[in-house]
Amino acid sequence: MKMGIAASAVLTIPFAGFANRKGNNRNAKPFKVDAGKDRFDKAITLFEGDTFYTKVSAKDSEGDLYVYESTRVKKGGPALHLHYKQDEIWYVLEGEFLIKVGDQLYTAKPGDTVFGPRGIPHAFAKINEGNARLLMTFQPAGKMEEFFIATSEGKLAKMTTVEQDEFRKQHGFERVGPALDYQKTP
């Protein structure tokens, strides 16, 4: 699938402030990640078959940005949560999602973008049959990439609920409510 103008904007708009904030002295080098591939050829598998393909690692941008493609197999999504210092952007590539940000509930389809400002509770859920894909961006990257890697290695599964909540906080976010009830679509 070709990435359209909106997806390109998702990837380039956050960079606008970086040059002014950090200058152009970074050691970042250009690279290309092919469709269906992971930046490091090691996709992150979570939650019964959902796969995250890193496109831009936090390491690539000195922590300014983390972009990954999320392929979702099962319906549902994460619990309501908020990030202390990160904005989150969802760009739907395939399938259909409910995305709640604050009091707003959106139905998002291919080509739709939803912006979740830092500090505002949000959750999302895949609601269609079959596969679905999102291009997700965290700006700044924070420790989300580290969190997903640790979770894929089974660390979260071995913790109590209290330990899981503390682990989330150590990675810059916290759970503040239940997952969306995707069975009750608007």
Mean pLDDT score, 128-138: 96
Q: Tally the domains of the chain.
A: 1
- pTM to 2 decimal places: 0.84
Cα–Cα nearest to 174, from 161, 183, 184, 158: 161
Mean pLDDT score, 168-183: 93
CA pseudo-torsion sign 51, 56, 60, 64: negative
Domain assignment of residue 186, yes or no = no
Query: How high is the pLDDT of residue 28?
Result: 76
pLDDT digit string (tens) for 3-60? 454 444 444 444 444 444 555 556 678 999 999 999 999 999 986 778 999 999 999 9
Cα separation of 1 and 25, whole Å?
34
Cα separation of 36 and 158, whole Å?
30
> Rounded to an integer, what is the distance from CA 119 to the centroid of its chain?
15
pLDDT band at 98 (very low <50, low <70, confident <90, very high): very high
Domain assignment of residue 163, yes or no = yes
Domain assignment of residue 185, yes or no = no
Which token pair is 113? Answer: 């973008």
Query: How high is the pLDDT of residue 156?
Result: 87
Show the domain range for 143: 5-179
Which token pair is 178? Answer: 């239940």
CATH number for the domain spanning 151: value is: 2.60.120.10
Cα separation of 114 and 92, whole Å?
9
Domain assignment of residue 89, yes or no = yes
Domain assignment of residue 184, yes or no = no
